[in-house]
Amino acid sequence: MKFIDLAENGNNSPLTYVSGILLIFILYFLGSLGILVDIHYNFPTLSIGSMDTQFYQTMGHTRFLFWVLFPYLLVFIGVLLHHRWMHQRPVLQAFTSTDGFRWKRLFFAFFLILFVMVGLMSLQIYADGFNHGHAFTFQFNPSKFFPLLAVSLIMLPIQTACEELLFRSYLLKGLKLRIKRTGTAILLSALMFGIMHIGNPEIQEIGYHMLVYYFLSGLFLALITTVDDGLELAIGYHAANNLIAAIFVTTDWQVFRTDALFLNHQDPGDGWSSLIFLLILFPSLFLLLKRIYRWPSWKEIMQSM
């Protein structure tokens, strides 16, 4: 059975989906209370509403990052338990339609994106230095970087796997079950993924048209998940992308404000260059993956939509 059709198994009553969505909100809310408790007992002079430079200097970027990611740990565990006991489906079916989780696919996508993103950013940093620019500052501090690396390597894979589990598995398959059209389910899940990021700092800084960036990302990840019948490639891509944003280059206006290796001082601009880059990157990646994993022909893919 195709991955997107696995929702036909088990218990599919409306109550299970309503309780699942309610569970997600409750667990995320409870996880979000962690930072408030930490601030109340350890940093009573801080104001959670300010999020200014003093806030990050006092609490620390890495500590703040941990609490931002902590709710995803609770949601990840909760969704899997709900999938197993309420929907009565094997946990493996939340990730793939195959007989086992395809780790090789995950690591291939992870290291491929890691190589591409680090390579492109390194060229950008080199070009800036070659032209005697001041757009990037090397800010390596072992006492700050290695705790960041530890938190990132543990928590970011959980966060990205959680988002893939929610949007490219639970939501995507649930939409397909209800509306019966794969293409529409993919578009709707991508739209919801984009809307979820509306509160990100870069959206407020650059403009709401940057939601297209997240819509395209969600569309690409939903498409490769559907064609490849599993989340492995999507998790690998997503984890590498977020890890680079956390530990390699950071800015003062992105969602991950960290003690990364480099600080980018450039203004965010209008974001159109990033959107154009995605319009080149995603088709290229899809063609590469299609060739490597011998996906069906374009005609077959379109017919399945």
Over the stretch 12-58, which tens digit does the pLDDT of each residue have?
A: 888 999 999 999 999 999 999 998 888 878 887 776 666 656 666 66
Q: Which two tokens stand for residue 270?
A: 């209008």
Q: Which two tokens stand for residue 53?
A: 């430079």
pLDDT higher at 139 or 233: 233
In this prediction, residue 250 carries a pLDDT of: 86
Over the stretch 193-245, which tens digit does the pLDDT of each residue have?
A: 999 888 777 777 777 778 888 999 999 999 999 999 999 999 999 999 999 98
| % of the chain at pLDDT higher than 70 | 92
pLDDT greater than 90 at residue 275: no
Helices (H) and strands (E) in the chain, counts: 12, 3
Q: Do the beta carbons of residue 106 and residue 233 sit within 8 Å?
A: yes
In this prediction, residue 52 carries a pLDDT of: 58
Backbone angles phi, psi at 136, to 5 degrees: -125, 140
Mean pLDDT of the chain: 88
Q: Do the beta carbons of residue 99 and residue 223 sit within 8 Å?
A: no
Longest Cα pair distance anywhere in the chain, in angstroms?
Answer: 62
